[in-house]
């Protein structure tokens, strides 16, 4: 997980992931065309992404085709969101219950006031 966070911490690597996500199977050369840094610099960033499991590469002849692997990000998302989504779902349900109880109390007070007014006029 640390490798994924470290890989995502750099703007250029996030850019590489966006490029590969939008163009699955693109080559390293295609990715390099989007950057002003050297090819070696881009390849170093690609290696960091591969080591984190975020990029998969397959050599086809002289080219390396890149694929985005969302699984490591999904694992992190599931770990953090599942834990907190239960908490927030419970908190929202509690808030909904409290608001509904307040509304019921207000309706009872209004009804008793209206009953008192009609009782005086009768």
In tens, the pLDDT along 74-83 reads 988 888 776 6
Assess whether pLDDT exceeds 90 at residue 93: no
Name the token pair of 110: 């209004």
pLDDT for 46 beyond 90: yes
Q: Cα-atom radius of gyration of the chain, to the nearest Å?
A: 29
- Residue 60 in this model has a pLDDT that exceeds 80: yes
**What's the mean pLDDT in 21-46?**
97
CB 55 within 8 A of CB 27: no
Distances, alpha carbon 38 to alpha carbons 42, 45, 72, 104, in Å: 6, 11, 28, 68
Number of Cβ within 10 Å of residue 109's Cβ equals 10
CA–CA distance, 120 with 1 (Å, rounded to integer): 72
Average pLDDT of the segment spanning 59-85:
87
Whose CA is closest to 68, among 57, 82, 78?
A: 57
């Amino acid at each position: 997980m640390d490798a994924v966070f470290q890989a995502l911490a750099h703007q250029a690597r996030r850019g590489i992931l966006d490029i590969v996500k939008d163009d699955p199977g693109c080559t390293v050369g295609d990715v390099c065309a989007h950057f002003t840094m050297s090819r070696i610099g881009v390849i170093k960033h690609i290696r960091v992404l591969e080591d984190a499991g975020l990029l998969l590469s397959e050599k086809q002849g002289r080219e390396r085709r890149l694929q985005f692997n969302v699984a490591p990000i999904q694992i992190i998302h599931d770990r953090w969101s599942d834990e907190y989504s239960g908490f927030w779902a419970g908190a929202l349900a509690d808030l909904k219950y409290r608001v509904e109880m307040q509304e019921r109390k207000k309706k009872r007070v209004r009804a008793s006031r209206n009953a008192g007014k009609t009782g005086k006029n009768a």
